[in-house]
Amino acid sequence: MKKYVAEFIGTLVLTLFGCGSAAISGGIDGKLGILGIAMAFGLSIVAMAYVIGDVSGCHINPAVSLGVFLNGGMSGKDFGGYVIAQFLGGITGAGLLALIISCCGKNYADTGLGQNGFGSASYVGINMGGAVLVEIILTFVFVFAVLGVTAKVKNQAVAGIVIGLVLAFVHILGIPLTGTSVNPARSFGPALLMGGQALAQVWVFIVAPLAGGALAAVVYKALVKEEKKD
């Protein structure tokens, strides 16, 4: 149970601080801009990795958990528990963000909650097919890096920093395109509260990251693990 609580808290923090940095600062054209928002997501991972990493591994992302599961790093029972905890954390984080925004005398429907989107909801107007492709690629890169850096015990001291930087790295490209999901739980929470277009489109940001995470696990097994055996 401690692992699931840790995943809940970690995903809550990621959603609150990552999505919050976008919603409260005014998005891409706001004070933080793309780099600032990307770093907020990345630093959230760094902070949580060094707090809950020893408890749950600090997945705080169903796509990462899927990659770890397919790579043989966790049981099916734990995978299910992690995903439930992560989605609950994402919803709670989005709820806290909405509450904070309302305390500023604003309506979160106007500021947004850092939700993802395509078409008219994308900064550059990327279409649905492009959004699916982008999210698969970005999630593949992120999960592939997670699997690689956590494979060796000697990397333990720096793993959180590397993973956080990679998350920031994929956000820099992805934010203008889709808002960057690479995390179904982080996407579902804001979309659930926003409703409308965000909720109608959220399936892309659940399916595509999971596909990217699965692809990363398959490639990692075929490429890296086989290379180590040789």
Sequence-distant (≥ 6) Cβ neighbours of residue 36 within 8 angstroms:
21, 25
Q: Are 121 and 44 in contact (CB under 8 A)?
A: no
Question: What CATH number does the domain containing 74 carry?
Answer: 1.20.1080.10
- Can you give the residue range of the structural domain that contains 158? 2-229
Q: Which of 184, 13, 37 is nearest to 96 (CA)?
A: 13
Per-residue pLDDT tens digits for 11-35: 999 999 999 999 998 889 888 999 9
Q: Are 32 and 21 in contact (CB under 8 A)?
A: yes
Tokens 């907020």 — which residue? Answer: 40
Q: What is the pLDDT of residue 151?
A: 86
Tell me the pLDDT band of 228, cut-offs 50, 70 and 90.
low
Q: What is the pLDDT of residue 4?
A: 96
Rounded-to-integer distance, Cα 100 and Cα 94, Å:
10
Q: Which residues of 67-95 are buried (b: 16+ CB within 10 A; e: fewer)?
A: bbbbbebbeeebbebbbebbbbbbbbbbb
Asked whether residue 226 carries a pLDDT value surpassing 70, the answer given is no
Tell me the pLDDT band of 220, cut-offs 50, 70 and 90.
very high
Torsion of CA 9, 113, 197, 106, to 10 degrees: 140
Asked whether residue 39 carries a pLDDT value surpassing 70, the answer given is yes
Question: What total of structural domains would you count in the chain?
Answer: 1
Rounded-to-integer distance, Cα 32 and Cα 13, Å:
18
Q: What is the pLDDT of residue 230?
A: 44
Rounded-to-integer distance, Cα 43 and Cα 181, Å:
16
Tell me the pLDDT band of 227, cut-offs 50, 70 and 90.
low
Q: What percent of the chain has pLDDT over 90?
A: 85
Q: How many residues does the chain have?
A: 230
Structure tokens at 140: 């593949």
Rounded-to-integer distance, Cα 221 and Cα 91, Å:
32
For residue 192, how many other CB atoms are within 10 A of its CB? 18
